Amino acid sequence: MKLDFEHRQSAHCENGVSANLLKYYGIDVNEPLVFGIGAGLFFSYLPFIKVNHAPGSAFRTMPGLVFKRAAKNLGIQIFRKKYRSAEKAMRDLDKSLEQGLPVGLQVGVFHLTYFPDPYRFHFNAHNLVVYGKEGDEYLISDPVMETTTRLTRAEMKRVRFAKGIFSPKGQMYHPVNVPDSFDLKTAVRKGIKRTAKDMTKIPIPFFGVKGIRFLAKDIRKWQKKHGDKKAALYLAAVVRMQEEIGTGGAGFRFLYAAFLQEAAKILQIDELNELSTQMTQVGDLWREFALAASRIYKDRSKDPKGYDSAADLLVEIAAREEKIFTRLLKLV
Amino acid sequence: MKKENIPQDDAKLLEGKTRDLCYAVDENGNYTTGLSTGWDPKNAALQHSLDYFNERAEKVLEKVRAGKQSLLAYQMERRYMDVSLMADYMELTKRTVKRHMRPKYFDALDEETVARYAEILRIDPEELKKLPE
Q: Which of A55-59, A178-182, B9-13 has the lowest mean pLDDT?
A: A178-182
Predicted ipTM of the assembly: 0.94
What is the reported pLDDT for B15?
95
> CA B36 to CA B13: how far, in whole Å?
12
Q: What is the pLDDT of residues A222-240, one digit of tens each?
A: 999 999 999 999 999 999 9
Neighbours of B91 (CB within 10 A): 8
Instruction: Output the DSSP codes for A263-322.
Output: HHHHHT-THHHHHHHHHHHHHHHHHHHHHHHHHHHHS----HHHHHHHHHHHHHHHHHHH
Amino acid at A222: W
Distance of CA B5 to the CA centre of its chain: 31
Length of chain A, please?
332
Least Cα separation, residue B108 to chain A (angstroms) = 26
Beta bridge mates, A63: none
Please count the residue pairs, one from chain A and one from chain B, whose beta carbons lie less than 8 angstroms apart: 123
pTM: 0.94
| Cβ within 8 Å, pair B39-A255 | no
A contact test, residue of B39, B42, B50 with most A CBs within 10 A: B42
**What are the Cα distances from residue A165, in Å, to A57, A121, A124, A194?**
15, 12, 7, 26
Model confidence at A52, pLDDT cuts 50, 70, 90, reads confident
**What are the Cα distances from residue A149, in Å, to A15, A112, A129, A137, B20?**
18, 11, 10, 10, 16
Q: What is the pLDDT of residues A306-332, one digit of tens each?
A: 999 999 999 999 999 999 999 999 999
The answer to whether the CB of A89 falls within 8 A of the CB of A124 is no
Q: Residue A294's closest chain B neighbor by CA?
A: B41
